[in-house]
Chains A and B, each alone.
Chain A
Amino acid sequence: MTRRWVGPALTALVLAGAVVLIVFLPRMTSEFRLGQFTYVAIYFIALLGLNILTGYNGQISLGHAAFMAVGGYTAAVLILGQEGFKLVGQEPAEIIPKHGITPIWTIPIAGLVTGVIGYLFGLPALRLAGVSLALATFAVAVSMPAIAKRFEHLTGGGGGLSLPLPEAPFGWDISPPHWLYYEAWGAAGILFVVAWLLVRGRVGRAWRSIRDGEVAAVSSGVSPAVYKTLAFGISSAYAGVAGALFAIQNSYINPDTFPLTLSILLLASAVIGGLSSLSGVIVGALVLEFLPIYAQEPPVFDVNFAKQAAPVVFGVVLMLIVFLMPGGAAGLLRRLTRPIVAAASRRS
């Protein structure tokens, strides 16, 4: 007899372990390390969104850092308000609210704003697919810094915007880095559940059906226009939330905070984690945060590579993964756990 609950039970166990680890990690590590794990949560969110778009819906985005920038600027401008904005020596645009908003509320707003912009971008992108879509999104990422510099009344121009470190709310007695860590992982947890609910049901199936065969999807009643733009909107909303958290954690944003290379590394990490699987996303996020750090200063060999070494190492790892583990980390995990699940299911 097969036991259908073994697989889900294993998943639940791993998830519970992950939650415990995330909650207790701050006690086990330095504040500096903690900051790195906050970035892991931020990348995790961005990669969840990118995976929805590219992994589940098959639309390649080489410009996701630009959507993060939209979220980052939205949060920064809302946190500062016109009063704070004036400190950078620029005249703030009219649409910026007079007074700043509590940072945490700027995160969902940034998600919403970026989601709408991504949705609007998804409309013309409907005419594109494959390489042309990759190029179009790439173009967005390329032009983003110039656009940010041009609209200095909204973005502070090249000088950027400095943000205050947010205090924990409700008189909670923890330091700002700890608060940011919990805030980022809280958002990551919520958005993970949302992504999971989306991809496992009717919407996720519609996304994947379009990816696998648009004609058959249409004939089954799936509207490509509706679901492709929806994927763009939701994916961008995730990027916006990630960008807002990034700006807050970074205490600073300028046109180079979300560079072109980040867009490329995001896509690479999504592939490394495994496309169209949520379990691998955490691996992608860890790789995206820590690989560049270790690529610069490998702990094993006593050498210091140049700063530029990181993308090279990233590229090599990516190539290895594409050739050796086509499903990414998630695919490897599936292959490793399948025998365990199968064995456990067989025993009665």
Chain B
Amino acid sequence: MALLAVENVTRRFGGIVALADVSLELEQGAIGGLIGPNGAGKTTLFNLITRLYRPNEGRIAFDGKDLTRTPPHRIVRLGIARTFQSVVLFQNMSVLENLLVGAHARLRPFSERRGRKQALETLDYLGLGGLAERFPGGLPFGTLKRVELARALAARPRLLLLDEPAGGLNHEEVGELGELIRTVRRDFDLTVLLVEHHMNLVMSVCDHVHVLNFGRTIADGPPEDVRRDPEVIEAYLGASDSAAA
């Protein structure tokens, strides 16, 4: 059984159909890619999985459990953590405290000390050890993205949703990120769903790629098949600049 199952999900915003009858499955331990031109509905799907939005139609199941009735703050408790496309860190809290909020659902009243220790370990693991007491303001965007990743990992999730983690990174750093995503999956025993515009990154780390265009699924399969799909090529040529990278 798939760990994540999105079944015939539709979501509208007024007249806009952000997602139309989208279905997607992700096996335990897989790295899935979710790609598509700007406005294709990728972030919307993340917001539906994390229950910030409700689907108009269809259902989403995690580990066999229907999420439709789960309140949004319970999602992380079930084992789903995410990062945000435009970085949403707690600005007036230190990097360490940001991670401790990430671990909120796991921390018990008297586990403060252990929580701090684990958070520091997670920071070290991601090479952010020196930043524990720093505040997000003033840190470079690429670093903030990584702090967000650290906060998501602090929840010790089973499913990690990454919304454009390569934002703010240069060419070389994008390569390292691919490596990092794979090691993180191994070390934290994760399943990953990755939204990215960097095609090389997606094609090199993902076991499976799902392509959206204007809210509709236009391709779904292993990276090498998706890459050659005429409809995908057409969609990306049509949307050209931002996506072709």
Residues of A within 8 A of B (CB): 201-202, 205-206, 208-209, 211-213, 215-224, 276
Contact = CB atoms under 8 A, between A and B. Distances in A.
Given A220-B101, A221-B73, A202 B107 contact: yes
Given A220-B104, A223-B73, 15 more contacts: A202-B107, A205-B97, A208-B90, A208-B97, A209-B104, A212-B89, A212-B93, A213-B89, A216-B89, A217-B101, A218-B52, A219-B72, A220-B155, A221-B155, A222-B101
Contacts, number: 74
Contacts of A222: 73, 101, 104
Interface in B156-179: none
Interface stretch (B16-24, B30-38, B76-84, B186-194): B76-84
B205 to A, nearest CB: 23
B195 interface: no
Interface residues of B, number: 29
A213 B72 contact: no
Residue of B76, B101, B109, B151 with most partner-chain A CB within 10 A: B101
B86 to A, nearest CB: 11
B93 A221 contact: no
A317 B193 CA distance: 53
Interface string B92-109: 110001001110110101
A219 B71 CA distance: 10
Nearest to A58: B92
Nearest to A276: B92
A220 B75 CA distance: 9
A216 B88 contact: yes
Contacts of A202: 100, 104, 107, 109, 112
A201 B112 contact: yes
Contact of A212 (B52, B77, B92): B92
Interface of B: 50, 52, 71-77, 81-82, 84, 88-93, 97, 100-102, 104-105, 107, 109, 112, 151, 155
A221 B112 CA distance: 17
Contacts of B73: 218, 221-224
A216 B90 CA distance: 8
A35 to B, nearest CB: 38
Contacts of B81: 219-220
B198 to A, nearest CB: 24
A219 B160 CA distance: 12
Contact of A220 (B91, B102, B109, B112): B102
A215 B93 CA distance: 16
A216 B84 contact: yes
Contacts of A201: 109, 112
B90 A219 contact: no
A276 B102 CA distance: 20
Contacts of A216: 84, 88-90
Which 9 A-B pairs have CB atoms at the shortest separation, nearest pair first? A221-B105, A212-B90, A221-B76, A216-B88, A223-B73, A209-B101, A221-B104, A218-B72, A220-B101
